[in-house]
């Protein structure tokens, strides 16, 4: 069975609008039953777990409910405002049929994702998502392959349409992924990555003091500061060029080799903005400010190590 994305989005969008605020303003419980208890856990259960994970990560609270466990107490997780998505290709397994009256009574709506529109599950459901396939892809035409692919595609389409309805943005996604590189790139601030070393000299500092400051910074840079104001920076490259040009360096001051108007960024800016500047100007460090005062140094290698790109 082939799926065309735009018609599927329209279908699921209509579905979500039809069941209304129950989806948008209440937890959504995904019931993934066992198709045949004698064969163990069905493939639909694994699909349901994947759909639950996708919904949770995109802002729709969901949880997985196993049909075999539901009839022994786990039905208590279903609240009256919840929408139950029940996944069963046959739609007629005893575990499902026995659950139907309770699912109907305890929830706001029952959605059947089934390959059999004439099944008992489909006939009892408020909405039916037909996942019928002509045949499975496995050599014996038995193992759930094509059918589970359709189920997952429908689950993804449902999640995407819910994101559209709730105007779910990148920053919202990042809130649920604070530990990953995506979360860091969307939420991490410059302040989190500022070096512990804060190298600085005055404009009248001797070349000896400048070299000590640059070397001690471990970043190959020092910042020239006067009365809290950033005058410029001096890098190890500036020092090397000075050594090539000067025969006598005893009288050289910081002001003689300073690079004025350095690139800066506020400590409260996003770290990914700092990375964009570093890449744009092909530089290794940025001067970090706090209310236009010198705050510290941020290094491109630190950002890369932390997954900022």
Q: Could you tell me the residue ranges of all domains in the chain?
A: 5-168, 187-305
242-299 tens-digit pLDDT = 999 888 898 999 999 999 999 999 999 999 999 999 999 999 999 999 999 999 999 9
Residue 14 pLDDT = 44
Asked if the model's pLDDT at residue 305 lies above 70, the reply is yes
* 245 vs 98: CA distance, rounded Å: 89
Residue of 78 and 226 predicted with greater confidence = 226
Q: What is the pLDDT of residue 201?
A: 97
Domain 187-305 has CATH 3.10.580.10: yes
CA distance 198 to 296: 5
Q: What are phi and psi of 183, to 5 degrees?
A: -60, -45
pLDDT digits (tens, 9 = 90+) for 120-151: 999 999 989 999 999 998 888 888 889 999 99
* pLDDT, position 93: 86
pLDDT for residue 123: 95
Listing DSSP states for the chain in one string gives ----HHHHHHHHHHHHHHHTHHHHSS-EEEEE--S-GGG-S-HHHHHHHHHHHHHHHTT--EEEEEHHHHTTTGGGG--TT-EEEEE-SSS--HHHHHHHHHHHHHSSEEEEEES-TTSHHHHH-SEEEE---SS-SSTTS-SSSHHHHHHHHHHHHHHHHHHHHTT--HHHHHHT-TTSHHHHHHH-BGGGG--S---EE-TT-BHHHHHHHHHHHSSSEEEEEETTEEEEEEEHHHHHHHHHH-S--TT-BHHHH-EES--EEETTSBHHHHHHHHHHTT-SEEEEEETTEEEEEEEHHHHHHTT--
Other Cβ atoms less than 10 A from the Cβ of 80: the count is 10
What is the CATH number that goes with domain 5-168?
Answer: 3.40.50.10490
pLDDT, residue 22, reads 31
pLDDT at 258: 95
Q: What was the pLDDT predicted at 81? A: 80
Please give the share of the chain, as a percent, with pLDDT higher than 90.
44
């Amino acid at each position: 069975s082939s799926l065309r994305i735009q018609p599927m989005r329209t279908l699921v969008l209509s579905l979500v609008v039809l069941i209304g605020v129950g989806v948008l303003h209440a937890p959504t419980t995904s019931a993934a039953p066992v198709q045949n208890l004698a064969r163990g856990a069905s493939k639909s259960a694994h699909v349901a777990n994947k759909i639950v994970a996708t919904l949770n990560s995109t802002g729709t609270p969901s949880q997985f409910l196993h049909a075999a466990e539901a009839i022994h107490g786990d039905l208590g997780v279903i609240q009256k405002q919840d929408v139950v998505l029940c996944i069963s290709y046959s739609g007629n397994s005893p575990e499902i049929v026995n659950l139907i009256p309770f699912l109907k009574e305890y929830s706001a709506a029952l959605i059947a994702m089934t390959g059999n529109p004439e099944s008992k599950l489909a006939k009892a459901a408020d909405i039916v998502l037909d996942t019928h396939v002509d045949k499975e892809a496995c050599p014996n035409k038995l193992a759930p392959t094509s059918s589970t692919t359709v189920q997952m595609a429908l689950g993804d389409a449902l999640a995407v349409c819910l994101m559209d309805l709730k105007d779910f943005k990148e920053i919202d996604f990042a809130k649920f992924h604070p530990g990953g590189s995506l979360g860091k790139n969307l939420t991490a601030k410059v302040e989190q990555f500022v070096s512990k070393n804060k190298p600085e000299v005055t404009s009248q500092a001797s070349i000896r003091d400048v070299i000590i400051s640059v070397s001690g910074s471990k970043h190959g840079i020092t910042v020239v500061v006067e009365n809290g104001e950033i005058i410029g920076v001096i890098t190890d490259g500036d020092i090397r060029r000075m050594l090539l040009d000067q025969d006598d360096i005893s009288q050289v001051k910081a002001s003689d080799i300073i690079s004025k108007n350095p690139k800066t960024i506020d400590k409260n800016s996003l770290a990914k903005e700092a990375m964009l500047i570093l890449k744009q100007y092909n530089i290794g460090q940025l001067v970090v400010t706090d209310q236009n005062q010198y705050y510290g140094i941020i290094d491109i290698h630190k950002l890369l190590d932390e997954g900022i790109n």
